[in-house]
Amino acid sequence: MQFLKPLVHGKLIKRYKRFLSDVELDSGEIVIAHCTNSGSMKTCIEEGAEVYLTHVDDPKRKTKYTWETIRMNGDWIGINTGIPNVLVYEAIRDQQIEGLNTYIEAKREVSFEDSRFDVFAKNDYEECFIEVKNVSMKVGDYARFPDAVTTRGKKHLETLIRVKESGMRAVIFYVIQRSDVSVFGPAYDIDPKYAEALKKAVANGVEVFAYQAKVTPEGIDLVKQLPVDLNFPINRGLFD
């Protein structure tokens, strides 16, 4: 996925009130940018770091910029939590994900019971609900989710179990918007209830896909599938 127009470069001053950030542009102008990430942004925020913003031409918006990426330890990390939904939808629509490449129709934002899932796909013999999660936290070599307690995320897993029980396919799809990790796993130390719900979901037939995305100022693309480790990392030093 390529950005539709050139991004605006600057450096992060601070993030505050969860959804706002002050950024100093290269021109010296200080602007307020919308931060779509409602989590803690643990391990992917650093004051003074390079960032890229999208300028938004919408007179109804209070903020004229959206924060897209941040550069840390020489790598770009995707901040915009709306991007993974687009990446996964387009990849499934275009039959680019191995294991999810047999579907001839894909739709976004489709409801099952009282939950709305990011992607619904089907072919002549199967229907599949897919929930997409953005992952930006790094712990050792692991990408971890979530970076804050998420009751909504736990509810999605519980509903995916019921999707599976109804005879349809159920998938939780994690998009890791950083290149400096090699394995995905749940963040037991941050939200043990979510981690246990994920293990229960897998035991009940919900499938887990974890894909790493390459983030650049020009665009963001899914590049490779990462292994998934659902076990608590006892004595591995990952939470030191």
For 88-147, the pLDDT digits (tens) are 999 999 999 999 999 999 999 999 998 899 999 999 999 999 999 999 999 999 999 999
Residue 192 CB contacts under 8 Å (≥ 6 apart), including other chains? none
Q: What is the pLDDT of residues 21-58, one digit of tens each?
A: 999 999 999 999 999 998 899 999 999 999 999 999 88
Give buried/exposed letters for 25-36 (b at 16+ CB in 10 A, else e). Answer: beeeeebbbbbe
Rounded to whole angstroms, the Cα distance separating 9 from 29 reads: 11
Q: What are phi and psi of 201, to 5 degrees?
A: -60, -45
pLDDT band at 234 (very low <50, low <70, confident <90, very high): low
Q: How far is CA 25 from CA 49, 50, 53, 196, 235, in A?
A: 12, 10, 9, 43, 44
Report the predicted TM-score, pTM, of the whole model to 2 decimal places.
0.93
pLDDT band at 233 (very low <50, low <70, confident <90, very high): low
Domains by residue range for the chain, with CATH: 8-78 (2.40.50.580), 83-225 (3.40.1350.60)
**Residue 78 contacts residue 215 (beta carbons within 8 Å):** yes
C-alpha 87: how far from chain center: 10
pLDDT band at 238 (very low <50, low <70, confident <90, very high): very low
Report the mean per-residue pLDDT for the chain: 94
